[in-house]
Every structure is written in C-alpha cells, then in structure tokens.
Amino acid sequence: MNLKTGIIIIIVLLLTCGKLFSQEAANNTNNKENRMEWWREARFGMFIHWGLYSVPAGEWKGETGHAEWIRTTAKIPLEEYDQLVGQFNPVKFNAEEWVKTAKDAGVKYMVLTSKHHDGFCLFDSKYTDFDIMSTPFKRDILKELADACRKYDMKIGWYHSIMDWHNPDYLPRRDWETTRSAEGADFNRYFEYLKNQVKEIITNYGDISVLWFDGEWESTWSHEYASKLYRFIRDLDPNIIINNRIDVYRDGMAGISKNAEALGDFGTPEQEIPETGLPGTDWESCMTMNDHWGYNKADNNWKSSKDLIYNLVDIASKGGNYLLNVGPTAEGIFPQPSIDRLKTIGKWMRMNGTSIYGTQAGPFKKQSWGKCTQKEIAGGTRLFLQVFDWPKTGKLTIASLINEPVKAFLLSDPKETPLTLGKHNGNIDISLTGSAPDSICSVVVLDIKGKAEVLDSPEFVYKYIPASDKVEFSLASENKNPKLVIYYSTDGSVPTDKMNAYTKPVLTKLPADFKAVVYFGNRRFGEVTGIKLPVSFGKTVTLKKEPAEKYKALGAQSLTDGVLGSVRIADGNWLGFEGDDFDATLDMGKKIGIHSLILGYLVSTKSWIFEPTEINIEYSTDGKEFKPLLNKKFNPAIWKSADAVRRYSDVFPEVNARYIRFVAKNRGLCPADHPGKGGKAWVFVDEIEVE
C-alpha cells in the first residue's frame, strides 16, 4: 500500500465514522423525543412513598417527626428495623382502588417506591429476602399495581433508591452505625445487585414508563457507575424515561443538572417550583401534600386543595410536570386528607384539564391575576388564562401582548360564548360577566393570531461604582426592535415618553429610585420597572463569624447587593448560621446622617430556620466605640409560624455614623416541642439597608 492510498483510506474511515456518530446522535435525539411525548402531554403524576416505614407511622420512642428516613433519623439498628418485616401486612391494599383514585384526580402516571433507602423491596426479588414476600402479606405489590394501571390506561413507573442502608455491600455506613462493620463490603458487588434488581423491575411487570432514581449523592456513586447503569437500562428498554438522579450532577433540591455529561431525561426539583421554570429542559417538581413523603400519623399540616391546584397550574405554566405525593398507611390505604384533596383536584381537572394536558409554558413572566399555558392552533395560538384572582371590575387585563386577539370565551362554557375584547395602553382587556365559574381557579381562553409575542417590562442590572459612590443601571438584554423605546426616570416618578430615552447605561447617585417603562409604536406596554436602592447599597460588610458553607451566598457582600432572599431557602441569596449568631458590621465609607435601618431575615421552622431571639443594632463614627441604636426582643416560646421573609425596620432621630453593627441572636437549639428537638437552630439573614 502506498502512502497516497493509505491517506485516502484514513479519510474515508474518518468520514464514515463521523457520519455514523452524527447518525447515532440524531437517533438518540429522536428516541428521546419519542419516549418523552406522552410525558410532556401528561403534566400530572402521582408519587407514592410506601414501605416498612409506614408501620411506625413516623413515631419512634416518643418522637413523632420521622417518616421514610426513620431508620437513620431515629438511629434504629439493622436487626431492630428488620423486625418491621413481620409487622408489614397491608391487608386493605387494593391496587385498582389506588389507580381509580389517581385517575379520578386527573393523574396520568404513577411512580411507586419499589425500594427506598432502607433497602426493603415491595416486589418479589430473587436477589434478597428483604422484600414483600418475607412479610405476612406475601403479594407482589409492583405486579398488582402494574396490572391495575394497564387495566385503567395509566402509565406506571418505579422509584428505585441507589442508596441502600440494608445491603451489606453498600457503602458508606451511616455515621451512627458504629457497631456495624464495613469489613468485607464490596461496592462493585453491590452495583451488580443494583443492576440485577433494576432488571427485575423493568422486565417482570410489562411495559414500565419511568425509572425514578434517588440517593445518588453519596461519594461511592459516580458518573462511571451511572453511565454503566444507564447503558444497561437503555439496552433493556430504550423507551423507558429515566430521571437525572441516576447521575451525580444534580444541583441539590433545585434538581438541575448543568454538566454537559449529565445523564437523564428530566430534571427533578424537590419541594419547590423553579421561579422561571427550566427553559429548554424537561422537568418535574415532586412535592408532598403535607410535610412528609412517607406516612406520618401526627403530620396534619396539609396543604389546602387551593394550594395544590395552584402548584399544578404554576408548574404547567412554566413548562413542567407536577408529581404529587401520597404516603399510604401500613394497612395499604391512602390517608383520608389525601383522598379529599385528590377529589377536589379531580373535580377541577374535569372542567379545566384542557388547560393543563399537552400545554406548553405560557409566554408571560407574570400576570397579576394568575397563570397562563398555551397550545398551538390553526393560524395562531390558544392561551389558557388561569385566573385565581377574579377581577372585581369585570375586566381581565392581559398586559404586554402584541398579537391581535381573535376571540375569548370561558373554558367552562360549552357554547364558547364570545367575550368582549378591547385594548388600551398596549394591553388586551376581556370583559367578564358574573362571578367566577370556579371558586379556586377559572380559565379564560384567548385565541390570538400567530405565535405569542410579549413585550416584557424592561429588566435592568445595576452595580455600585465605589470611586464615585454612584450606581450604574444598564439594560439586562439588548433591544433590537426599532419600534421599541425604553423611557426612564431617576427620581422615582413614573416615566413617560416625554422623559429620557434609554440609549446607554445610566449613572446616578445613591439613594437611587430608578424607574423604566417600554413604549412600542408610541404605545406604552406592560408595567413600570422599579429599582430602589439605599445609601448602603454596595458598601463593605465584615462578618464576625462566617456562615455555613452550604448557605453563604456570595459572602458578606450579599448583604448589600440589593437582591432580596425569597422563601426558597436554596435561592442563593441567604447567609445561614447554624447554632451561631449573625454579627455583621457595615462600613458606609464615610460619616453620614442616617435615620432608618432594615434587616431582612427568613422564618421557615420546618427547615429549622427560626426568628432571632433578639436583634441589636449599634453605630459608630470610628469603628471602635459603638453606641446602641435599636433593640428588638422576640418571645422564643412563640416559634410556630408560616414560612415568610421578614424585615425588621425602624426609624429614629438622625444620627451621624460611618459604621453600623447588626446582631441577630440565634436561639441555639430547636425548641422542645419542635420535631428537631435538641438540634442546632438556624438564623438566615439577607440584605441590610441604611437610609
């Protein structure tokens, strides 16, 4: 073979390989689109957490705050926990009743725990005796539920834990299992056990639609193990949908996998709804009806039916699925409060399900009256306006929509009687007559020409310029539409087209009260954007003690960045202090006259985040000698309250100061009547403001 011939062969091989790789990538994309089609249509699923932990029903030795994690939260030795096998006898379990309850609620798919972290299997496994066939019940739960789902045209999936506290080869041991030796444990052998059981739950029960993994966060699991398991599953069933928790790249409870290598078909936010959804990603928010996944007989903190319907609508409006949990009792029945709420959801879905199933995320970032989903129709788009706050004026205003409206009607009206349409200030008005068709959420249908186009209120970013002690406002996204002009003011007044037009970043002194609004074709669109920043914005803060590693935001400077934390504890803005006081000193850079102060903090007692027991604020001109300014004491006995962001504020006769010290005292330990009794309490703080 001469050199020229060899080069030609290599080129041909490279071209062939490239073509094969591109075909494989295209096939993978097509396969995902095909298998995700029903899931994207469904929008509403039911999670079921059930196992041995339903026997103690959340209580162990007088403590009632446990659930599916009870073996480790109550530190139950293995041989003692194993005794629950002989007590698990759910004689009232009726798979068809479960499926009919779900179907009547509008649920399209169910996901049951085939095995949770405790290692107990609800199916007949030939690889362990720690399963349903060792109980007095001796019936394969997975088989009965899969058969019932097929009978009633319900998709079925299994939750399967990667973590396994029972298997002798799983590592690591719990940190409290000091007498349970890890000698001889072999994680590779455990991986084979895991694969064998995954094969059982895929191949023994007919067509399975979803595999929902969990427990992947411990150091023994890796991307390499995930890749092997993923390929193994794909070879068994290329159509099964797999969540992202098979891999190690999930971003905590937010459930997002940003790594390019991350495996899985959808993201898994837990107990939260992403503020703006996860555009470009399939995702599913899994959430409880009360405070626990598994059955806890003492947990009566049930979300209202209205809240659950709001969650369903909110998630659909952002392009996600809602996986709503039920924790059955040890007898095998759904708790009555769960049934009651599912019935209410079902009643709403029978009338309004069209606005949920098969819809896409709505085009709006925010509307004051509620949420919106959409579907493509011939010649345009159908918007489902899900109205929680029925307008008392009888007029529903849809802000910032450029499209020409075609018709509007109530989804509850089988005759589709047209509603009167009007326009003003770039908004579309729909005239409504009578009271709301539904006491929780009514749906108004609006058909428009073309694909929905929305002119959102302008978004600005801002930064502190230390050299000038000023703040710079700049447009967050480029405006390329020549018909769109943004007008602004810096004195807090409402901007009009007679004021300054934004053409470049705006520099203004502190305190700043910046407002802006969009005009399109000489008509105002949307709401006014307002950003109000105090004189303390951007100033230097030092902490006496650093926050916990998990909740440190961007450090001390997060306290003067002008961004407020939300009730979502993982939103990235909070500084969290576990068992310690918050103690921060603000340096204004120079001595100024001040007359008001604000300190923002979070209360989320179910997450062990409490109100401070005391807030002290002092001031100084030199940073050495501090004088008292404000003091507020809270009653530590009154700790039960709803999740909320609170802002302690006060005004006082003006004093001259350069340094202000803020102290929020931590209660130290969770109170005696709290589920976390004796555990370290948290103080969460964000944003200190001075005027």
pLDDT at position 232: 98
Residue 187 — very low, low, confident or very high, per pLDDT cuts 50/70/90? very high
pLDDT at position 24: 45
Stretch 662-689: mean pLDDT: 94
pLDDT one-digit tens code per residue, 56-111: 999 999 999 999 999 999 999 999 999 999 999 999 999 999 999 999 999 999 99
pLDDT at position 556: 96
pLDDT one-digit tens code per residue, 415-435: 999 999 998 877 899 999 889
* Of the candidates 185, 177, 184, 113, the residue with the CA atom closest to the CA atom of residue 142: 113
Stretch 226-235: mean pLDDT: 98
Q: Which of 396-410, 475-489, 541-555 is least confident?
A: 475-489
pLDDT at position 21: 43
Q: Which of 68-82, 251-265, 470-484, 652-666 is least confident?
A: 470-484
Separation of CA 520 from chain center: 35
Burial class (CB in 10 A: 0-12, 13-18, 19+), 82: middle
pLDDT at position 9: 58
Containing H/E element for 8? helix 3-42
Helix axes 336-352, 95-104, angle to 10 degrees: 40
pLDDT(27) > 70: no
Taking the CA atoms of 394, 398, 404 and 405 in sequence, report the sign of the dihedral they define.
negative
pLDDT one-digit tens code per residue, 288-323: 999 999 999 999 999 999 999 999 999 999 999 999
pLDDT(10) > 80: no
Contact call for residues 242 and 160 (beta carbons, < 8 A)? no
pLDDT at position 131: 98
Burial class (CB in 10 A: 0-12, 13-18, 19+), 622: exposed
pLDDT at position 571: 87
pLDDT at position 25: 44
| Average pLDDT value over all residues in the chain | 94
Q: How far apart are CA 329 and CA 91, in angstroms?
A: 11
pLDDT at position 423: 87
Contact call for residues 609 and 683 (beta carbons, < 8 A)? yes
Q: How far is CA 37 from CA 31, 209, 257, 282, in A?
A: 10, 12, 21, 11
pLDDT at position 524: 83
pLDDT at position 373: 98
Residue 568 — very low, low, confident or very high, per pLDDT cuts 50/70/90? confident
Q: Bridge-partner residues for 283, per DSSP?
A: 267
pLDDT one-digit tens code per residue, 201-228: 999 999 999 999 999 999 999 999 999 9
Q: How far apart are CA 508 and CA 469, in angstroms?
A: 9
pLDDT(184) > 70: yes
Tell me the three-class secondary structure of 371-435, residue by residue. Answer: EEEEEEECCEEEEEEEECCCCCCCEEEECCECCCEEEEEECCCCCCCCCCEEEECCEEEEECCCC
Q: How far is CA 185 from CA 116, 164, 171, in A?
A: 20, 13, 7
pLDDT(28) > 90: no
* Of the candidates 318, 230, 238, the residue with the CA atom closest to the CA atom of residue 272: 318
pLDDT one-digit tens code per residue, 460-486: 999 999 999 999 999 987 767 788 899
Q: Take residue 468 and report the two structure tokens written for it.
A: 């000038």
Q: What's the predicted TM-score (pTM) here?
A: 0.81
